[in-house]
Each structure stands twice: as structure tokens, then as C-alpha cells.
Amino acid sequence: MPTIGWFEILIVVAIAIIVLGPKDFPIMLKKAGSWIGTAKRYMNNIQNEVSNIDIEDEKINNEIKKDIKKDE
């Protein structure tokens, strides 16, 4: 998998400044930051839901094991 170095990032930023212009570039950075923040929050919520499901499954499994031991 290719890695992105500082030189490649510098080239992308320079091209973005040329295409967007120095006036609109900070606005686009704010929008991109907002999108990234929204995506991170969404992924964090998904991870929390999955971990809650795992915890609930573990509780159910422990209850089933206790019931089985009581029946024996």
C-alpha cells in the first residue's frame, strides 16, 4: 500500500490553493474538517454500538451458563 509523504501533501495543498484560490482555500479546509469530524463521530457511534452488543451477548451467555449449572 503506498504511503503519502510530506512532499505529496505539499503538492496537493499547492494545487488546491491554485485551483480554489487563496481566499476560498481556508473555507474549504473548514468544510473538510467538518466532514472529517462528522465521519469520526459516526464511526465512533458505530464502534460503541458494536461494543454494547458484545457486552449484552456476554451477559446473556453468562446467564445461560448459570441456568445450565443450576439445572445440573
CA pair distance 15, 25, nearest whole angstrom: 11
Considering the chain, what is the average pLDDT of its residues? 87
What mean pLDDT comes out for the span 15-37? 93
Measured distance CA(32)–CA(26) in Å, rounded:
10
What pTM was computed for the model? 0.58
14 close to 22: Cβ distance less than 8 angstroms = no
pLDDT in tens, 28-59: 999 999 999 999 999 999 998 988 887 887 87
